[in-house]
């Protein structure tokens, strides 16, 4: 049997293939020459499986989709305080020809608009970085996320520099306000190289899954950014990723996302998957026409809306078994607040009075911080009730289970 | 043993009790006389347990927290198309003295600002509704959500009408643009009665859990609004709930929320719980000072951030067992896209070749639409491979399991 | 011989009669029923001659043209400080649905927009004025300017009150910000009565000439407002009179002006004349289509542009005559800065050394303050040179000619 | 006797000398080093007399006062259509960090803001002009207006280029929108050289008088720009010259003006004089503190407000004399609309019935177009009445007096 997931995606691809609305970006020749009929959809699950359909091996320039990725890198290189001092996180409903600097601070309003992205690029590595080192930082970080070596299309970069007046205007204005220090031409040169990194739809799906998985690479299992950075980037994409119409996207799609002018569209569904579409024709907002339709289909048909979370809480208690002298609470899955709360509520309701209470966490895949703290506190209270606490944890999912008073549960 | 959840909340309450920042709203005497030291925190899980600490039985006026609730009622009474034609969903970064009407349509930008909330109130029931029937619709719907009969504080209502110039200005302007038809004084009168409905922190936590639970009441199990309405309301709160600073709230707290000028603050963590705080002192944005701090604590300490979802996908496959003639896939929990995908991937990888494949869904609590469709498609493909498909479903969690071709799995 | 001025106006009227662009205001029935073909042009010189052509006796409602007139009345009733504290003088480039309140003060930006005009109406008479007394103040002041008793069209007033939502919105918002204190409904009622005062094109031309003549009625010679008020009102019309497009009007027409939605258009050319057009069809800015074209024609063809002032300075020295023992400086016309400067320069250049210098001002029509001071100072210096100063002033155009040291010139 | 005008200016200078408010511009060292105590006032009448007091021979950089001058040059070089297509004429109330481009056209809103001034500089000469030729065009035109050879301070130019980020940002944005074509760096280089032209207060007063005199140089009598250009530039200064606060300036000062960051302030009082102040300390709007105070004094004390025009009309009829067979109308001064109308009204009222009517224009200094047309039409009508028309015009002030039918008046 073949998994039908790929077939689902194929069906979506086929159903939208006839859509010819919009037009390929034409402000530089390299983009204008793109084949407008190209179309690819890719999904990568947080545990590392990728489903691709259509032209998923065709490379295109990452363009503005580089913005959230570089933002993650800058947060890692400089820390939250430094980055937030230079670039805000508020949505900008303003028109295309506005700089969207915050009054007072003159910070760009968020890292998803050009002013914010140029500032963010300038923050890469450290204060002494030059064009080359910042571009290499971006290229190498994006490569780590994608799981393969990506390259900069230098011909495209040259071509875009010829019509970079808008970005040069922004960079000069940012230096005028003391937001950036480097030569405006250098920062824009580096930023445009960053935008000229070539990716496939498959790359973007894998990259999206890195965020959706809380910063852990879905294939290698390597942590590629901190959980906090992944959360920050997804939050900013949720609020500011789709230019104007942020509210429309949030209500009808509900997947943090970012689009690029070459036709790419990256989405991250927290805890579930990265999603990518590639189709060069753009709508009047500059988003891939078929990309937007694909995300609407996925969100609606496949319940992929961020606030549409199901109540997993009660599923973490796999089983409760009572023998003569012990009651065993068998946990499973991921232990978050609501799951831990459910376990603790069941503990509180336990009237067996058996001398021993066994916590079997061998089926638990992961304890969130809050879950770990709550379960340990539950164990402490059980022991305070005069009962023996035994922990079954063969995979060390709950390391150093200090009950808060220096004591530990017995091990089985 | 007592569940430590309440103790956690008590600790948060105690740690923030010394915070005296901000000031009680003073634009009408009734609000100005509030005891500024009152403080309550309440959490209600989606499966119906409520934890309250502090002054959780003190009633206060719901004020602007009525906005998302009335929005839900209007969506139910009039349908999405009618409501969206009159009120948008986009964040408004505009200043306090702006009407925030969209250019072109003259729609209020969203239902969380006064212009949108007044319009939304006017949509309650139907075109022929009068003040009384709209107010009763709000009161009765809010009561259903809270699980007890709520009342309108008529003295407060009278008092607020005396300083209702701003809302009257908005209502006249809305009628000027044809957004509302009724007499502006009537709509504002009804809207202010809606804002004068009295609630407790506990009420708000239960109400929040109705949304977090996808529209099903956490205590009664009754469906109080459609899943789509719950999703719409939470999405709008996520983008527009906290006035300016929406991006700051989204990145640092990440819980869809709405505050009221009497000191209430309502949050909904999808799939997990409703959260409420009550503390009358307001910060410069008009949000409860201690309320905001409490939400920050909960989001940080208890991992309650919307995009911080854990990967539950792999937990739905409880067990795979193979005997001589059959392979049994035992599912559990909620079957969403990522869970179904995991099951299907395991099915595809199955090399046992047993003549029978058993799907045991007796531990499944709920199939999301997408999960149901994917699992049924998986069964169909298994049978196409020439294997017998058996379904174990004692609780009818997967009713009418048509495999898409009019045939059904065998039952065990 | 008949003066050709009227024929000039007839020619302009005829040449624009074929213009049918625009549409009659239709937001209330009374305006919608206006005969769209009506057309009148009227000009009144500052010395009181009026030329009218077309439908110059047809009455129409004054509408927004009442704004500058009521502003003059309010300045007279309350003084500059009180009025400027409540209403600013800055142009508002903002769109129609904005309130145009200044940030910080919440003052309406100027008295020509509705918010400013409603506030201005509320300032009429004194703090205790009621609707009736404010309306009567406006009606009676406008009548004084027009030189005949004007009336309020009560049917029109009633009709406009039915669609006064926008103005009611503004009035409520103004009270919300503490700019007005009275009941919003009352102020709007009075304001709309003020707008319903009926005038003819001829009335408006006479009214315009009152301003152009520095506050002195062109026919009666009575001072109807202070020179400072006339200057203030014309300055505000110059900057804010024609909604958006103030710069376009200033560069291409250059005549301070105000239009009304019933088709009236009032202009004031300082020192020369009042101009009025009446034609009900309005362009997309809400100004009379033919009215705007007429003003363009007059400005271009008849050099009626405010900054197109000719150098009159040298014309004030009518003659210099020298006899054996005296030199006579014969002055004429209006003595402003540039004229006085020219006289003084000639005095300084006088090398006749005659024992007596005669100043003959019998042909002078008016000394501006600066002119008076400069000429008196000139006399003083002549006497300091040891020469006798004689003043010929049969009409007492230069009363109390104190030379600054308590002495006076001899009289002839 | 000495003319007291200079003494008046000295008194103003002395009375404001103690004013130390504001601060010297410090964004580049060359400006920061200016002596803050310098103070000069200069007035040049339209007939060529200049009064200077204080540090009137000290040179300073013209800075933004170059904007209206270069605008005049561009209008002359390119014509109104080309210039208006690229730069608007509307006031911009927007904040400092806005580009003030018009939506739709992307034109800078007016030539007095930096975006408009940079565009205007780029329009100098023709499409093929380079930096050198544009700068030379500005320098040479400014020199013609000032009546002496001005120079560019190259050290200042170099120094300003080092902090030209804001202007470079603007220039890049203008090229982005297709408003300018040249290399942004070149245009800004040229523009800053234009701003670095060195002038004295006396120069500025003479320059101002060129505009006030309708484009004719007050000293040489040479026409240095068309009357239409002078009118356009003064109109734009009236509406947009003083940044925000245009309405305040128009109501309280009423003199078209432009200020520069080096402390210069240029005013033009149409038909009367050019006015200049130099004092380096700037107020919070960037205008010379003492400069603004000086203009307020002059406007108030010396009645120098643009709309404060006196009624000169009746002064043009110098005398009417009747002998047995002729009536003589003796005209004088400048014949504008209101003057011509007065003459025609007197002609119409003439009941002498003498066979001959004599028009003596030997004292007329100038006929405005409208005046010429009206008087000729009056002559024609007199002759139609059967009377002989005789013209006395020794200086040919009314050349080619065709009465509209190919006939001419008799000459005396």
What is the pLDDT confidence band of residue A97, given thresholds at 50, 70 and 90? Answer: very low
Instruction: Give this prediction's pTM.
Output: 0.89
Tally the residues of chain B.
412
What is the pLDDT confidence band of residue A285, given thresholds at 50, 70 and 90? Answer: confident
Q: Which chain A residue lies closest to D169 (C-alpha atoms)? A: A169
Measure the CA–CA gap between B160 and B66, rounded to whole angstroms: 15
What is the pLDDT confidence band of residue A236, given thresholds at 50, 70 and 90? Answer: very high
What is the reported pLDDT for B241?
A: 78
Is A296 within 8 Å of chain B by CB?
Answer: no
Asked if A334 and B214 come within 8 Å (Cβ–Cβ), the reply is no
What is the reported pLDDT for D97?
A: 41
Alpha helices (runs of H) in A33-130, residue ranges in sequence order: 66-78, 80-86, 114-123
What is the pLDDT confidence band of residue A321, given thresholds at 50, 70 and 90? Answer: very high
pLDDT tens digits along B223-281: 999 999 999 999 999 988 776 678 889 999 999 999 999 999 999 999 999 999 999 99
**Touching, D vs A (3+ Cβ pairs under 8 A):** yes
Percent of chain B at pLDDT above 90?
74
Q: Chains that contact B by 3+ CB pairs under 8 Å?
A: A, C
Over 80: is that where the pLDDT of A313 sits?
A: no
A 177-236 residues with CB < 8 A to D = 177, 184
The closest CB to that of B176, out of C95, C103, C165, belongs to: C165
The closest CB to that of A165, out of D99, D101, D175, belongs to: D175
Q: Chains that contact D by 3+ CB pairs under 8 Å?
A: A, C
Do the annotations mark residue B342 as ligand-binding? no
Measure the CA–CA gap between A330 and A313, rounded to whole angstroms: 14
Give the distance from residue A157's alpha carbon to the nearest chain D alpha carbon, in angstroms: 18
What are the chain B neighbours of C95 within 8 Å (beta carbons)? 103
pLDDT tens digits along B279-313: 999 998 889 999 999 999 999 888 889 888 777 77
Do the annotations mark residue D261 as ligand-binding? yes
Measure the CA–CA gap between D330 and D327, rounded to whole angstroms: 10
Give the distance from residue D4's alpha carbon to the nearest chain C alpha carbon, in angstroms: 7
Query: Which residues pair with residue D142 across a beta bridge?
Result: none
How far are the Cα atoms of C393, C410, D396 from residue C407, in angstroms, in the given order? Answer: 17, 9, 46
Query: Do the beta carbons of residue A28 and residue A42 sit within 8 Å?
Result: no
What are the chain D neighbours of C306 within 8 Å (beta carbons)? 270, 306-307
ipTM entry: 0.91
Sign of CA dihedral B141, B143, B147, B149: negative
The closest CB to that of D97, out of A101, A166, A168, belongs to: A101
Give the distance from residue D183's alpha carbon to the nearest chain A alpha carbon, in angstroms: 10
Do the annotations mark residue B316 as ligand-binding? no
Measure the CA–CA gap between C60 and C150, rounded to whole angstroms: 11
Give the distance from residue A15's alpha carbon to the nearest chain D alpha carbon, in angstroms: 37
Is B4 within 8 Å of chain A by CB?
Answer: yes
What is the reported pLDDT for D96?
A: 39
CA atoms within 13 Å, Cβ hemisphere of A219:
15
Give the distance from residue B247's alpha carbon to the nearest chain A alpha carbon, in angstroms: 4
Is A272 within 8 Å of chain B by CB?
Answer: yes
Sign of CA dihedral C132, C138, C144, C148: negative
| Segments of chain D scoring below 70 in pLDDT | 93-99, 243-244
Residue that is written with structure tokens 């890469």 in the block: A124
Q: Which chain B residue lies closest to A332 (C-alpha atoms)? A: B315
pLDDT tens digits along B70-114: 999 999 999 999 999 999 998 876 543 456 777 778 899 999 999
What are the chain B neighbours of C172 within 8 Å (beta carbons)? 165-166, 168-169, 172
The closest CB to that of B334, out of A110, A312, A368, belongs to: A312
D 83-142 residues with CB < 8 A to C = 88-93, 110
Give the residue numbers of the binding site of C for substrate. 64, 114, 160, 167, 191, 243, 261
What is the reported pLDDT for A244?
A: 62
What mean pLDDT, rounded, does chain B reach? 92
Give the distance from residue D173's alpha carbon to the nearest chain A alpha carbon, in angstroms: 5
What is the reported pLDDT for B184?
A: 96
Substitution target from A28, A162, A168 for chain D, most D beta carbons within 10 A: A168
Asked if D231 and C308 come within 8 Å (Cβ–Cβ), the reply is yes
Three-state SS at C335:
strand
C46-49's contacts with Cβ under 8 Å and 24+ in sequence apart are C46/C209, C46/C212, C46/C213, C46/C218, C46/C271, C46/C272, C46/C273, C46/D311, C46/D313, C46/D338, C47/C213, C47/C218, C47/D311, C47/D313, C47/D314, C47/D342, C48/C209, C48/C218, C48/C219, C49/D341, C49/D345
For B304, which DSSP code? -
B vs C, Cβ pairs < 8 A, gives 49
Is A47 within 8 Å of chain B by CB?
Answer: yes
Neighbouring C-beta atoms of residue C194, cutoff 10 Å: 28
- Measuring CA to CA, which residue among A397, A351, A398, A392 is closest to residue A377? A398
Three-state SS at D4:
coil
Query: Do the beta carbons of residue B315 and residue B76 sit within 8 Å?
Result: no
Reading chain C (412 residues) residue by residue, the pLDDT tens digits are 778 889 889 999 999 999 999 999 988 888 889 999 999 999 999 989 999 999 999 999 999 999 999 999 999 999 999 999 999 998 876 543 456 777 778 899 899 999 999 999 999 999 999 999 999 999 999 999 999 999 999 999 999 998 899 999 999 999 999 999 999 999 999 999 999 999 999 999 999 999 999 999 999 999 999 999 999 999 999 988 776 678 889 999 999 999 999 999 999 999 999 999 999 999 988 899 999 999 999 998 888 898 887 777 788 888 999 999 999 999 988 888 888 999 999 999 999 999 999 999 998 888 988 899 999 999 999 999 999 999 999 989 999 999 988 889 999 8
- Measuring CA to CA, which residue among A93, A116, A90 is closest to residue A171? A116
Do the annotations mark residue D346 as ligand-binding? no
Percent of chain A at pLDDT above 90?
74
Asked if D95 and A101 come within 8 Å (Cβ–Cβ), the reply is no
Over 50: is that where the pLDDT of A96 sits?
A: no
The closest CB to that of A176, out of D106, D166, D173, belongs to: D166
| φ/ψ (deg, to 5) at D393 | -150, 70
Query: Do the beta carbons of residue B193 and residue B50 sit within 8 Å?
Result: no
What is the reported pLDDT for B96?
A: 39
What are the chain D neighbours of C72 within 8 Å (beta carbons)? none
What is the reported pLDDT for A247?
A: 87
């Amino acid at each position: 049997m073949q998994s039908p997931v790929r077939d689902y995606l194929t069906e979506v691809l086929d159903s939208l293939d006839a859509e010819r609305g919009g037009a390929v970006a034409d402000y530089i020749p390299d983009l204008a020459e793109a084949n407008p009929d190209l179309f690819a959809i890719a999904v990568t699950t947080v545990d590392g499986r990728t489903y691709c359909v259509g032209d998923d091996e065709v490379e295109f320039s990452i363009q503005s989709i580089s913005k959230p990725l570089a933002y993650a890198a800058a947060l890692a290189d400089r820390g939250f305080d430094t980055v937030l001092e230079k670039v805000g996180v508020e949505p900008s409903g303003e028109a295309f020809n506005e700089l969207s600097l915050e009054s007072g601070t003159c910070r760009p309003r968020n890292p998803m608009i050009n002013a914010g992205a140029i500032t963010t690029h300038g923050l890469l590595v450290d204060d002494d970085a030059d064009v080359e080192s910042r571009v290499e930082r971006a290229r190498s970080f994006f490569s780590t996320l994608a799981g393969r070596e990506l390259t900069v299309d230098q011909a495209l970069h040259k071509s875009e520099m010829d019509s970079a007046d808008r970005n040069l205007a922004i960079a000069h204005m940012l230096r005028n306000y003391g937001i950036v220090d480097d030569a405006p031409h250098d920062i824009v040169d580096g930023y445009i190289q960053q935008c000229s990194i070539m990716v496939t739809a498959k790359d973007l799906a894998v990259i999206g899954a890195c965020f959706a998985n809380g910063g852990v690479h879905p294939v290698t299992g390597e942590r590629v950014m901190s959980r906090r950075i992944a959360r920050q980037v997804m939050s900013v994409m949720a609020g500011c990723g789709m230019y104007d119409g942020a509210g429309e996207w949030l209500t009808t799609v509900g997947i943090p996302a970012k689009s690029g002018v070459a036709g790419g569209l990256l989405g991250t569904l927290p805890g579930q998957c990265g999603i990518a579409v590639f189709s060069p024709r753009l709508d009047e907002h500059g988003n891939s026409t078929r990309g937007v339709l694909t995300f609407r289909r996925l969100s609606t048909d496949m319940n992929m809306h961020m606030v549409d979370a199901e109540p997993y809480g009660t599923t973490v208690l796999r089983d409760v078994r009572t023998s003569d002298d012990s009651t065993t609470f068998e946990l499973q899955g991921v232990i978050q607040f609501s799951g831990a709360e459910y376990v603790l509520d069941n503990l509180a309701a336990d009237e067996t009075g058996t001398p021993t209470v066994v916590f079997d966490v061998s089926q638990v895949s992961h304890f969130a911080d809050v879950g770990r703290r709550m379960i340990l506190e539950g164990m402490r209270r059980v022991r305070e009730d005069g009962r023996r606490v035994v922990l079954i944890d063969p995979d060390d999912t709950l390391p150093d289970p200090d009950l808060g008073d220096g004591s530990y549960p017995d091990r089985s």
